[in-house]
Structure 1
């Protein structure tokens, strides 16, 4: 009897594939890659089945504004990102009273390492990461409640590394790996 691997690689959805195709087209239009490189990249993207295959298909592209940092800020209410979205190399999330939910399970990672800096006063924060992600929370300071995070027993190589830093006042951060 054949057993299934404990942590199968995370499969990509069509939105992630479409985002990768768009990224290749933009690189070609901006003159960063040749026609042959675009054809080769499109072939890799269109046949990719896992997130790590998609990341390696885009690895030769120049970084997209690598020096910039994206910031999501709100005084209160909710901060929510989910579905297919590009995760920047550095993401800052700032709020005094908002609830935060970042769902990275279907996000497109163009960088092998992503830094998320939280500057939160009160309110809960929940981050859902891909199954094959490695998470580092050593740079995060919590004031009131401990972070809830249970690392995967074994993670597959090729997933993104997510470093979470910053500070949380009176809220709790819950991090979980996506189920599929």
Structure 2
């Protein structure tokens, strides 16, 4: 039986590179790097081709302080984000009856960890908010404290994980809806 070919490492975008350059410069300005270390890390960032190379260039730099959550809310309509939208470090999604679709597969994710708190169908006690979250192929998904009133959440871990992507942590509460999490196909 022939083995499957290895998946190539995730390539970075210019937005990823620009974000990493800013983090190195901020690390220098805050006194975490010497001028020599800054030059070396900027060289690493500017020549990096994969997320893994960027991660190593940013190693030992402190995380940015926790930001207050950005909230997206709707009483009954659909909440949808897709394409090249900017994903905040902390995202709170609130909906009493509507559907939620978050597609992170092509989104701009500047943080190694993204926390998503779902509050769906919980405000009235009879809400039915449903959610589908699509994460990048190289993302790691952690479902923390997610309280469901009726149906459990669904997430199928991919057979072949690709290191170097962001960690998406999901928590919160859902009334009578269902959460489906999947990895992007490409």
Q: For the residues of structure 1 that align with 2:26 and 2:99, how far apart are their CA atoms?
A: 35
TM-score (norm 2): 0.75
Instruction: Find the structure with the greater CA-based Rg.
Output: 2
In the TM superposition, 1:77-116 aligns within 5 A as 77=77, 78-80=79-81, 82-83=83-84, 85=86, 87-88=88-89, 90-105=90-105, 106-111=107-112, 113-116=113-116
Give the TM-score of the pair, scaled to structure 1.
Answer: 0.77
Distance, in Å, in 1 between the alignment partners of 2:137 and 2:167 is 11
1:63-103 Cα distance to aligned partner (Å, 9 max, x none): 1113x342313133425265263541x43323334433333
Misfit runs of 4+, over 4 Å? none
Q: Residue in 2 aligned with 1:8?
A: 8
Alpha carbon RMSD of aligned pairs, Å?
2.8
What is the 5 A alignment of 1:1-180? 4-5=5-6, 7-66=7-66, 68-76=67-75, 77=77, 78-80=79-81, 82-83=83-84, 85=86, 87-88=88-89, 90-105=90-105, 106-111=107-112, 113-121=113-121, 122-137=128-143, 139-180=145-186
| Matched pairs, number | 176
